[in-house]
Amino acid sequence: MTTRPSRSSEAKPSPQSAAGKVAVVGSSNMDFVAKVPRLPKAGETVLGGDFSTHHGGKGANQAVAAALAGAQVTFVARLGNDPVGEQMLAGFRQKGIVLDFIVRDERQPSGVAIIMVDSAGENIIAVCSGANLNLSPEDVEAASGALASADILVCQLETPLPTVKRALTKAREAGACTLLNPAPAGPLAEAAQEWRALLSQVDVLTPNETEAEILTGLPVKSMNDAKKAGLRLLEAGAGNVVFTLGSNGALLVNSAGSRHFPAMPVKPLDSTGAGDAFSGALAARLAAGSPLEEAVVFANAAAALSVTRMGAQESMHSREEVERFLAGSDPS
C-alpha cells in the first residue's frame, strides 16, 4: 500500500517502485468533437471544419492516463449495452485496464459528450451522462476488494455524489490514498452540508481555477488567488490541493506552504483531457511511490504533452514518452 501524501510539500528523490495499483471510479463517454475557428457565443452558429469521435469521460480518461503512466488500473463504471459501449470496452482492453467491475446498463445508453475546439486549442463541452448516472454505491460495494487492494483511488464528479462518497470512504477504510478531481464542481458545491465531510476523505484534490472558484466562493484570477483558495480547501478538510492552471502550469498548496510548477512549453492543438491526463498521471506516480512534488512534475509534463494531440484518451502519452520529454527531448 502506498504511503498517503503528507501535508508537507518536501520532496525527496527516491527510486521508483514496481507499478502501483490504481482504482478509478467514474464516468466513460464517447466524445463527438468539432473543430471551429472560434467558440460561438450564445445563440450564434459558427461553421466548423473537421469532425471526429474520441473515447472520453473523466473517469475513463484518468484510468487510461494512469495505465499509460505505468499503473495497474481497475476501472469501476457503467456503460450502456450498445455499440458505443462496445467500442469503449475495446479501448480499455487495449490499454490493459481491468474491466471486472464495469456494468452494462440495460436502462440507459452509454454517455456521450459534445465538444467544440477552437484554433487555439480551447474548448467547450456538453455531456449527456446516460448510464454514468446509474453508477451506484452498490456498484462500489461490489468492487470493494479492488478498492481495498489499490494503492490509490481516483474519483471525479460526473457520477452520482453518493457513489463518490462511498468509494472515498471504502478506500480510506482500507488505508488507500485518495484523489478527487472535483469536476464538474457544481454537484459538490450544492451539497453545502456534506462537502466538508467529503473533502476530509480526500488526500489530494485537483481542481482547476473554475472549480476552485465554485467550491470556495473566492475569485481565482492569479497565483495569489489560487493560494488563498487552496488554504480555504485545506481548511475544509483536503489533505493537499494541486491546482491545474492550464498555460500557467500547476500549483501545490498544503500545510507546509505552496510551490508553483511552471507549464512546460509545447505547441497546443487541443486542451481536451489535459486535466484528466494530469490527474491520472499524478495518481500513477503516487501509487508507484513517488513523493508528491515529484509526482506533480511528472503529471505536469503529461498534461503538457496531451495538448499536442487531438482528443482525450488518444492524446495521452506513455510513461516513456513523458520521461523523454522531461529529459529534454522534442515532444513532436
All three cell numbers of 66:
494512469
| Mean of per-residue pLDDT scores for the chain | 90
Q: Is 291 helix (H, G, I), strand (E, B) or coil?
A: coil
- pLDDT given for residue 13 in this prediction: 32
- pLDDT given for residue 238 in this prediction: 96
Q: Within 13 Å, how many C-alpha atoms sit on residue 216's CB side?
A: 25
Query: Which one, of 168, 115, 64, 121, lies nearest residue 304 by Cα?
Result: 121
Contacts (Cβ under 8 Å, ≥6 apart) of 104: 78, 79, 80, 81, 85
Amino acid at position 183, single letter: A
Identify whether 31 is a catalytic site residue.
Answer: no
Q: How far is residue 112's CA from residue 124's CA, in Å, rounded to a whole number?
A: 14
- pLDDT given for residue 67 in this prediction: 98
- pLDDT given for residue 267 in this prediction: 87
- pLDDT given for residue 122 in this prediction: 86
Contact 307, 269 (CB under 8 A): yes
Widest pairwise Cα distance in the chain: 54
- pLDDT given for residue 6 in this prediction: 56
pLDDT by residue for the chain (332 residues), tens digit each? 455 675 443 333 333 446 899 999 999 999 888 999 999 999 999 987 789 888 989 999 999 999 999 999 999 999 999 999 999 999 999 999 999 999 999 999 999 988 898 988 888 888 899 999 999 999 999 999 999 999 999 999 999 999 999 999 999 999 999 999 999 998 777 776 778 889 999 999 999 999 999 999 999 999 999 999 999 999 999 999 999 999 899 999 999 999 999 999 898 887 878 999 999 999 999 999 999 999 999 999 999 999 988 777 888 999 999 999 999 866 55
- pLDDT given for residue 241 in this prediction: 98
Neighbours of 4 (CB within 10 A): 18
pTM of the model: 0.88
The dihedral through the CA atoms of 131, 133, 138, 139 has a sign that is positive
Contact 266, 237 (CB under 8 A): no
Q: Which domains are delineated in the chain?
A: 21-326 (3.40.1190.20)
Of the listed 31, 151, 270, 276, which one is catalytic?
A: 276
- pLDDT given for residue 1 in this prediction: 44
- pLDDT given for residue 192 in this prediction: 66
